[in-house]
Structure 1
Amino acid sequence: ILFSSCRSSDTMPVQNTTFVVTNKRALTSPVGIVRILEALFTCVAFSLVAHVDAWYQRAGDWCMFSWCFCFAITVLILLLEFTGLQGRIPVSWKNFPITFAMYAMLMVLSASIIYPLYFINHNGRNQEVRNYQIAATFFSCLAFLAYAIEVSMTRAKPGEVTGYMATVPGLLKVVETFVACVIFVFISEPVSYDNHGALKWCLAVYCICFVLSVLVIALCVGECTGWLPCAFNKFLSGYTLLAVLMYATATIIWPIFKFEEKHGGRSSRPSNCRNRTGLCDWDKLVAVAVLTALNLIVYIIDLVYSARLIFISV
C-alpha cells in the first residue's frame, strides 16, 4: 500500500510519517544516570509516605507535593531528551533543565527538613510507621544530593558558552525566589505584617524583589531577554542594586518592630513554644528575620557577579 501510494501520488494522497529518533545517551550519560536516580529516590520517598498515610496539614502536603512534582518533571525531562523532542518545546533548553534542578534541590531539601521536624519526632504512631517515615526522609536526602550533583555537573564552567541560568547569578535568582516564597509562608500564617506601616514596607520589599527575580527567570527560560528596552546585563545590575538597598532596609526594620518591646515586639521566646510541634509563631518571626538577612547576602553576591558582567561586556 505504501509503495503504490508513492507510485500514484496523483490519485492518492501521500501520508507523511513522523519518525522519532531516540537518544540513548540521554539515559546513559552521567547526567542522565543522575536524573534516573533523582526520579527513583523521589518516587520511593513519596511512595513510602503514601503507603502508611503519614502526612497531613500543610507541612505534609508540601513534602508530598515536592517529591511528586520533582519526580514528574524529572521523568518528563528524561522522556523529552530520550525522544529528542526538547527542541519542539517553546523554552530554552540551555536554561530550563538546570533551573528546574536548582528549584528541585531546594524543594527536596526543605522536604527533608520539614518532614522529620513535623512527623517523625511527634507522630505518636507505632514503630513500623516510624520506620517508613525515617526511610522516606533518608531517600529524600538522597534525592537532594542527586539534584545537587546535577546542578554541579550542568552549571556553567569557565570559558563555556551556555545559558544565563547555568551561571552563578542565574542560580542565585532561583535561591532568591525560593527564600522569598518561604518568607511569604511564615509571614502569612499567622499574618504578621499588618500592625505597622514599616512591616508593610517589608512585605512590599519581599513582593517587589520576588516579582523581578521571577521575571528575569521567565525571560531567560522563555528566551525573551530581547524584549527589554535596555541591555539585559544593565537591567540585571540595576534591579539587583535596587533589591540590595530594599532588603537592607527590611533586614533592619523587621527585627526592630518584632523583637523590641517598645515597638510592640517580644524579645524572648514564649513559654508556650516549648511543647509545640514544629515552629511556633515567635519562631516564624525569627525565621523571617534570618531569611531576610540571608536573601540580602544572596543579592549582594548577585550584584557583584552582575557588575562583573557589565565590565566584561564593555
Structure 2
Amino acid sequence: MPLTWFPTSQLLWVRVAAVLFTCTAFSVTAHGGGLHQAGMADWCIFCWAFSFACSVLVLLVEQCSLQPRIPVSWSNFPITVACYASLLCLSASIIFPLYFIKGQNSYGEQRDHRIAATVFSCLATVAYMVEVSLSKARPGEVAGYMATAPGLMKVCQTFVACIIFILVSNPVSYDHHAALKWCMAVYCICFILSMAVVVLCVGECTGCLPIPFSKFLSVYGLLATVMYLTATILWPVFHFDRNYSRGGDKAKLIAVSVLTALNFLLYIADLAYSARLVFVSG
C-alpha cells in the first residue's frame, strides 16, 4: 500500500521550503545576529516566526486531512496566510539589511549571521510568492474569493494601511489640521472594511450580511476608492504646501504619500475586478 503522508506536489514542496527558510532566518538571527535596535529586530523576527507558525499549521492540517474539523474556509485560508506571509517576509527582507547590515560596524560571525538571515528571508519571500501564484484562481476556475485578484488585493490593502499607521503614529503627523484627520479616518475606515471582508471570507460568514456579498463588495469598493482619492490629494497638500506644513520627518511623510497613492491604485483595480468577476466563495 503506497504511503500518502507526503504526497508529491509543487505546492507541498514550496510550503516546506517556506517553512525551512523562515525557520532558518529567525534561528540564525536569534543565535548570532547580535541585534541591539529592539523595535526593528523584533519586527523582523515576528515576520519570520509568524510566517513559519502559520505555514506549519497549514502543512499539518493538509497532511493530516483535518480540513473538515477546522472552522474556516480552507479554499480561502491557506492563500490568505501565504499572501500575508509574503508581504511580511518582503518587509523584513528590506528592513533587516537596511538597519543591521548597511552602515553597521559588525564583523566576523555576527555579520555572516545577518547576511545569512537576509538571504533566507529573501528566499522565503520568493517561496511565498510562488505559493500564492500556484494557489490563486485561474480564469474560469471556481475558487474561494481570497484566491481571486480582488481577494489578494484586500490583503495588500490591509498590509499597506498597517504600514501607514506605523509611519503616521511615531511621531503623530495627522493632528494639526482637520483635513489630515480626515485622511486618518479614511485609512482606518477602509482598513476595517477590507479586514472585515478577509475575516468574513476566511470564516465563511459572508451569508451573515444583510445584503448580497457581491453588492456589498461593489458599494464598498466605490466608497473606498472615492475616500482614498481625497486622501491621496489632501495628505501631500497639507504636509508639503508652505501655507499648511508644520515640518516633521519628510522621509516618513513622503512614504505615507506614496503608500496612500499605492492603496488608491489598489482600490481602483479592486473595484474594476469586482465589477466583472464571477466567483463562488468556498
Q: TM-score, normalised by structure 2?
A: 0.94
Determine if the alignment matches structure 1 residue 69 to structure 2 residue 50: yes
What is the root-mean-square deviation in Å for CA atoms of aligned residues? Answer: 1.7
Cα distance in structure 1, aligned partners of 2:54 and 2:91: 18
Matched, 1:102 2:83: yes
Equivalent position of 1:8 in the other structure:
none
Within the alignment, does 1:51 sit opposite 2:31 as a pair? yes
The amino acid that maps onto 1:288 is: V
**Alignment partner of 1:288 is 2:268:** no
Equivalent runs, 1:29-48 vs 2, <5 Å = 29-48=9-28
Deviation at 1:127, TM superposition (A): 3.1
Give the CA deviation at 1:209: 0.1
Q: 1:159 matched to which residue of 2?
A: 140
Matched, 1:85 2:66: yes
Are 1:25 and 1:32, in contact at CA under 8 Å, matched by a contact in 2?
no
How many angstroms apart in 2 are the aligned matches of 1:292 and 1:162?
30
State the distance in 2 between where 1:168 and 1:228 align. Answer: 22
Q: Which residue of 2 aligns with 1:273?
A: none
The CA deviation at 1:120 is 0.5
What is the distance in 1 between the residues matched to 2:68 and 2:124?
27
Among residues 100, 105, 116, which one is paired with 1:135 in the alignment? 116
CA shift, 1:25, in A, is 6.1
Q: Which amino acid aligns with 2:269?
A: I
**Aligned-pair CA distance for 1:131:** 1.5
For residue 223 of structure 1, the aligned residue among 164, 182, 204 is: 204
1:196-235 to 2 correspondence within 5 Å? 196-235=177-216
Q: 1:125 aligns with which of 101, 106, 118?
A: 106
Question: Which amino acid is the alignment partner of residue 150 of structure 2?
Answer: P
Q: Percent identity?
A: 59
Distance 1:97 1:261, change over 3 A: same
List alignment gaps of at least 5 residues for structure 2: none
- d(CA) in 2 for partners of 1:183, 1:26: 41
Post-superposition CA distance 1:102-122 (Å, at most 9, x none) = 000000000000000111013
SS state at 2:171 partner: coil
Displacement of 1:87: 1.6
Q: Which structure has the higher relative contact order (CA within 8 Å, separation 6+)?
A: 2
Paired residue for 2:92, among 82, 106, 111? 111
State which structure, 1 or 2, has the greater radius of gyration over its C-alpha atoms: 1
Change (3 A) 1:27 1:66: farther
Deviation by residue 1:142-177 (Cα, 9 ceiling, x = unmatched): 000000000000100112111000000000000000
Alignment check: 8 A CA contact 2:18 2:52 kept: yes
1:247 counterpart (212, 228, 248)? 228
Q: 1:250 to 1:26 in 2, by over 3 A?
A: farther
Q: Do the aligned residues in 2 keep the contact of 1:86 with 1:93 (CA within 8 Å)?
A: yes
What CA deviation, in whole Å up to 9, does each residue of 1:70-112 have, x standing for no partner? Answer: 1111111111111111220100000000000000000000000
Residue 196 of structure 1 deviates from its aligned partner by 1.0
Q: CA deviation at 1:60?
A: 1.1
Aligned pair count?
277
Q: Which amino acid in structure 2 is aligned with residue 143 of structure 1? A: A
In structure 2, C-alpha distance between the alignment counterparts of 1:45 and 1:198, rounded to whole Å: 42
Query: Is 2:33–2:114's contact at 8 Å kept on the other side of the alignment?
Result: no
Please list the CA deviations of residues 29-52 of structure 1 after superposition, one character each: whole Å capped at 9, or x if unmatched: 210100000000001111111111
Partner of 1:304: 272
What one-letter code is carried by the residue in structure 2 that aligns with 1:242? Answer: L
**Structure 1 residue identity aligned to 2:32:** V
The answer on whether the counterparts of 2:89 and 2:121 sit within 8 Å (CA) in structure 1 is yes
Task: Give the secondary-structure state (helix, strand or coil) at the position aligned to 1:28.
Answer: coil
2:237 aligned with 1:256, yes or no?
Answer: yes
1:54: Cα distance to partner? Answer: 3.1
